[in-house]
Structure 1
Amino acid sequence: MRRGSHEIGGSCIELACDGERVLLDLGKPLDAEDADPRLLPAVPGLEQGTDPQLRAIIVSHGHIDHWGLVPLAHTSIPLAMGAATRRILHAAAPFVPNPFAPNDTIDLVDGKQFAIGPFAITPYLVDHSAFDAYALLVEADGRRLFYSGDIRAHGRKGTLFERLLRDPPKGVDAMLLEGSSLGRLDESADFPTESEIEDVLVERLGTAGFVAIMASAQNIDRVVSIYRACKRTSRMLLLDLYAMEILRATGNPNLPAPGWPNLAVYVPEYQRRQIAKSQRFDLLEPYKAARVYREHIAEIGSRAVMLFRPSMMRDVDAVDLWTNARAIWSQWAGYLKLETGAKLKADLSSRNVELENIHTSGHASIKDLKRLAAALAPKALVPIHTFEGDKFSDLFANVVRRADGQWWEV
C-alpha cells in the first residue's frame, strides 16, 4: 500500500507482477486542502509518465479521497473507472473548482473481467454513497487479491452486498478491507438504512415552513430519499443545475428528472453568474420547462424543500423564507468541524435557524464487515481506509497489518 494503512482517505495501492504495475485508486488525503504534487506517492513514472511498466490507474469510485490525485498523474497513464463515474465527473466540471473530466477511460463493468498486462481484474458493483462504486478482484500469477473499496449494506443498493455474500470470489489470498466504521460505531450497532432516513425526513417535513437540506448532490441515494420524502409530504423539491446534471449523468431513467411530480429546478444567483461568465447557456436547455424563479419560491416557500449549500444563503434571504424554517445537515458530521461548516452554523444561527443532523454512513457497519470477511474467508485480511487498524485483530480472522510504503507478497 502506498497510502491508506492508517488513515481514511488518500487511498492508493500499488500492485506489481512480472515487472508491470497498476494502481488501485489515487486519492487525496482528507486533511489536504488542495491536490498538491508533494502528496503523490513515490510511484516510479507516476508524475513523469516515463515508465511504461506502470500500466494503469484503476479508480474504484467517484469520491475525491479515491481519485483526487489522479489529475496530477501523467496523462499518458491509462485510467479505468465506471462509465457513470466518468460522466458524473464531466457533469460536475462546470460547477466545481479544479474540475477533473477524464476522457478515453477503460470502463469498469459489473462482473466483466478485463486484462491489463499480467493482471486480470473483475469489478463488483457495490452499495456505497457514491454512485457506480466497485470492489475489485485482481488475479495475477496464480494469486487472488480482493479490494473492498468503499462498501456498505444499508443503502438503496444493499442487495448488491447480499449478492456478494451469496456468491463471493473463491480462493482469495489477500483481502484489503476498509474499516471506516471502526472507532465510529459499536461492534453490535447498526447504521440507519436509507429507507429509515427517508422516514425521519418525512416526519421532519410534515411541519409547515421552508426546509433547507444540506446533502451532497452526488449522494444519489440521499437525493432519492429526499425526493421520496417530499412526495410523501406533498412538498416541492428544488434542485439546482448541478444536482440535476449529476442525476442526468448517471444514465439511470429511474432517478428524478424534469417533468417528475414534486420536483422543480431553481438556478441560484451564483450559478446564473457562472453560466453567464462561461457562456454555458446550454446547461439551462434541458430544464426550461421545470424551472422556477425566485418570485415563485416566495409563493411556495412554506412547502418548498431546497437542496441547499451556503452559496444559496442570499437567495433564501432575498425571499425571506427563514421564519419558521428548518435546516437539515445530511452528510458526514465531520465537515461541520471545518471552517466552512462552522460559518454555516453561525450564519443559520444568526437567522434563528437550528441545524439538525439526519444522516447515515456511506460505509459498512462492523457487523456487515464481519459478514463480508467471513464470506470471502481470505488467507490474509489487511486493514485499509481506517484510523483503527489495530482493532481489526479483535474482530476478524487472519489479520495482517501492513504499513504504507511496504512491499509484500500476496
Structure 2
Amino acid sequence: MNLVVHRGTHQIGGCVTELRTSTTRIVIDMGCPLPGPEGAAPEATLSLSGVTAPGEPCDGVFFTHNHGDHMGQIGSVLPEVPLFLGETARDVALTLYHRLARRDTDGRAPILAALERANTFHPGVPLTVGDLRITPLLVDHSAFDAYMFLIEGGGLRILHTGDFRNHGPRGKALYPVLRRYVGQVDWLICEGTTLSRSSQPMMTERELGRRAQAILRKHQHVFVLCSSTNIDRIAVLTHSTPRRRPVVCDGYQKEILNRVELRNGNQSPFYRFGRVIPYSSRNTKLQNWMADQGFLMFVRANDRFRQLMEPYRNDCVVLYSMWSGYLDGPCANPDLTQFLDGFPVIRLHTSGHAERETLREVCRILQPRRGIIPIHGELPELFRSLAPSCQVTCLKDGEMLTL
C-alpha cells in the first residue's frame, strides 16, 4: 500500500491524504488552508488527478469532519467520485452552506451539490471500498460528529486520527475506544496541531463552563461570539446559564441546533436545545423576559448583531470564544476587530485539539509497529520526543511512502 500526503505535512489545515493499493484508491479530507496574514489563503485549490481533474479513478473521498480546513474543497471533487461523511456533520454543513449560498449562489453551488450527493456513515460501522475496510470511530473535536478512520487492507492496519481531543464532553471515551476497537496498528497518521503551541495543560470544556457561570453571575447581559457549528461550546454555555435567564440566538443558529438535537438529543440531554430561543423584536414576551432577567445571546460578527448589541454597550460583556489568532498576530481579521471595538471583551476559549500528553498516550496505546506519520502540524519532528520507541516518518507534501 502507498501513501501520499498531498498537503498538511508541515502546516495546520488544508489536509489531503491519499492511500492506494493495487486496486483501490481513497482520499481522506479535501481541505482548504487556514487564512494566513491579512486573511490570505495561498494555494487554496489543490488539483488532484482523478479527484478534482480527469485521471486515474478514485474510489472515494472520506471526510473526518466538516471544518473548512478538512472539507473546504468538497465542491471541487469530480461528481463521479463517491463522498463519505458523518450524518450530523452533513446536516450541519448543508444548513451552513444553504445560508452562505443566499449571498454567493455561484460560489457555493458546487459545495451544496457535493453535500447533497454525499454518502453518510455511522460510528463503528465498517465500510468496504475495493479491498479496503474503513471503520469510522467517533471522536471529540470542536466540530460535532468528527471521526478517526481505521483502515485495513493488504495485511496492514492504519489509523488516521483526523482532529481530536480528550478534554471535551465526549473526550473521556477516547482511550477506551482506542483500546477496545483499534489496539495495536501498523501505522498511525496523527494530527499534531498543538505541538507548535503552548505546552500548558488545556482548559477542559467543563472548566470553561464553570468560568462562564461565574461571568453570568456577575453580568446580566452577555453576548457570545463563537463558531455557529461549535456545538459542544454552545451546549456548555447554554447549560451554564441560570435557568431563569433566556438563551437567545437567531433563526439560522437555531436551525443548526435543531438538526443536532434531532439526531442526538435522544442519546444525551446535553444535546437538547429546547431552551434556546430564536430572537425576534416582535416577540413581546421574550423582550420582556430579557429586560427582566438579562440574557445570554449567541452572535456573529455582522452589522445586524452589532445593531442589537449597541444599546448594551455600557452594560454588557462579550465572551470571545474562538481561536485567539483571529484577533491577534498575522492571522488577525480586521472585520472581527472592528465588530468588537468599543465593547468589553472576555476571552473564554479552549482548543479543539489534543494536547501533548494526550498525543503521547495515544501513541503509547496504539504502539504502531512500523511508524507514525505526522500531519496537520507545523513541527512534525516533535513526535520523536513524544514516542521515542516508535519510528517517526516526517514526509514532505506530495512525497510517496510505501507502507
TM-score range, shorter chain: 0.7 to 0.9
Residue matched to 1:44: 49
Q: Which amino acid aligns with 1:404?
A: D
Q: Percent identity?
A: 27
Residue matched to 1:360: 350
| 1:243 Cα deviation after fit | 1.4
Name structure 1 gaps, 5 residues minimum: 269-290
| 1:348 Cα deviation after fit | 3.4
For residues 23 and 213 of structure 2, what CA distance do their matches in structure 1 show?
A: 56
For residues 280 and 97 of structure 2, what CA distance do their matches in structure 1 show?
A: 17
| 1:404 Cα deviation after fit | 0.8
Runs of 4+, deviation exceeding 4 Å: 32-36
| 1:408 Cα deviation after fit | 0.6
The question of 1:349 aligning with 2:360 is answered no
Partner of 2:169, secondary structure, is: coil
Residue matched to 1:329: 320
Query: What does the per-residue CA deviation read over 1:62-102, in whole Å, with 9 as the maximum and x for residues that have no partner?
Result: 11110101101111111011111111111212322554331
Q: Which amino acid aligns with 2:182?
A: P
Q: 1:141 aligns with which of 125, 129, 154?
A: 154
Residue matched to 2:104: none
Partner of 2:242, secondary structure, is: helix
Partner of 1:87, secondary structure, is: helix
1:179-218 correspondence to structure 2 within 5 Å:
179-186=192-199, 189-218=200-229
**Residues 23 and 131 in structure 2, CA contact (< 8 A), matched pair in contact too:** no
Which range moved further: 191-200 or 88-97?
Answer: 88-97
What TM-score, normalized to structure 1?
Answer: 0.85
For residues 237 and 97 of structure 2, what CA distance do their matches in structure 1 show?
A: 24
Q: 2:391 aligns with which of 384, 388, 398?
A: 398
Cα distance change, pair 119–292 in 1 and its aligned pair in 2 (3 A): farther
Partner of 1:238, secondary structure, is: strand
The question of 1:307 aligning with 2:324 is answered no
| 1:9 Cα deviation after fit | 0.2
Cα distance change, pair 218–267 in 1 and its aligned pair in 2 (3 A): farther
Cα distance change, pair 304–171 in 1 and its aligned pair in 2 (3 A): closer
Cα distance change, pair 402–344 in 1 and its aligned pair in 2 (3 A): closer
**Residues 12 and 34 in structure 2, CA contact (< 8 A), matched pair in contact too:** yes
For residues 117 and 327 of structure 2, what CA distance do their matches in structure 1 show?
A: 37
Q: Which amino acid aligns with 1:71?
A: G
Cα distance change, pair 378–339 in 1 and its aligned pair in 2 (3 A): closer
Partner of 1:93, secondary structure, is: helix
Cα distance change, pair 178–267 in 1 and its aligned pair in 2 (3 A): farther
Residue matched to 2:257: 247
1:106-185 correspondence to structure 2 within 5 Å:
106-185=119-198
Query: What does the per-residue CA deviation read over 1:135-193, in whole Å, with 9 as the maximum and x for residues that have no partner?
Result: 0011121112110000100100013213224325234111111111112131xx32111
Q: Which amino acid aligns with 1:321?
A: Y
| 1:300 Cα deviation after fit | 2.0
Query: What does the per-residue CA deviation read over 1:244-300, in whole Å, with 9 as the maximum and x for residues that have no partner?
Result: 111122222232434x3xx321159xxxxxxxxxxxxxxxxxxxxxx8469817952
Q: Which amino acid aligns with 2:294?
A: R
Partner of 1:167, secondary structure, is: helix
Cα distance change, pair 326–163 in 1 and its aligned pair in 2 (3 A): same
Partner of 1:54, secondary structure, is: coil
Residue matched to 1:235: 245
**Residues 198 and 226 in structure 1, CA contact (< 8 A), matched pair in contact too:** yes
| 1:242 Cα deviation after fit | 1.7
Q: Which amino acid aligns with 2:296?
A: V
Query: What does the per-residue CA deviation read over 1:226-253, in whole Å, with 9 as the maximum and x for residues that have no partner?
Result: 1011136x32111111211111222222
Partner of 1:96, secondary structure, is: helix
**Residues 201 and 229 in structure 1, CA contact (< 8 A), matched pair in contact too:** yes
Partner of 2:218, secondary structure, is: coil
Name structure 2 gaps, 5 residues minimum: 102-106
Residue matched to 1:257: 273
For residues 264 and 42 of structure 1, what CA distance do their matches in structure 2 show?
A: 43
**Residues 26 and 59 in structure 2, CA contact (< 8 A), matched pair in contact too:** yes
**Residues 34 and 41 in structure 2, CA contact (< 8 A), matched pair in contact too:** no
**Residues 177 and 381 in structure 1, CA contact (< 8 A), matched pair in contact too:** yes
Cα distance change, pair 252–170 in 1 and its aligned pair in 2 (3 A): closer
Query: What does the per-residue CA deviation read over 1:185-241, in whole Å, with 9 as the maximum and x for residues that have no partner?
Result: 31xx32111111000000011123311110112111101111011136x32111111
Residue matched to 1:407: 400
Query: What does the per-residue CA deviation read over 1:33-78, in whole Å, with 9 as the maximum and x for residues that have no partner?
Result: 6999x64434222223553x31111001111110101101111111
1:371-382 correspondence to structure 2 within 5 Å:
371-379=361-369, 380-382=371-373
| 1:334 Cα deviation after fit | 1.0
Q: Which amino acid aligns with 1:17?
A: T
Q: Which amino acid aligns with 1:230?
A: T
Q: Which amino acid aligns with 1:47?
A: T
Q: Which amino acid aligns with 2:356?
A: I
**Residues 177 and 382 in structure 1, CA contact (< 8 A), matched pair in contact too:** yes
**Residues 185 and 365 in structure 1, CA contact (< 8 A), matched pair in contact too:** no
**Residues 79 and 105 in structure 1, CA contact (< 8 A), matched pair in contact too:** yes
Cα distance change, pair 237–295 in 1 and its aligned pair in 2 (3 A): closer
Residue matched to 2:32: 28
**Residues 129 and 362 in structure 1, CA contact (< 8 A), matched pair in contact too:** yes
Query: What does the per-residue CA deviation read over 1:332-363, in whole Å, with 9 as the maximum and x for residues that have no partner?
Result: 1111137874444344333xx22111011100
| 1:103 Cα deviation after fit | 2.2
Residue matched to 1:10: 14
Query: What does the per-residue CA deviation read over 1:366-390, in whole Å, with 9 as the maximum and x for residues that have no partner?
Result: 1011111110001201111001112
**Residues 223 and 296 in structure 2, CA contact (< 8 A), matched pair in contact too:** yes
Residue matched to 1:71: 75
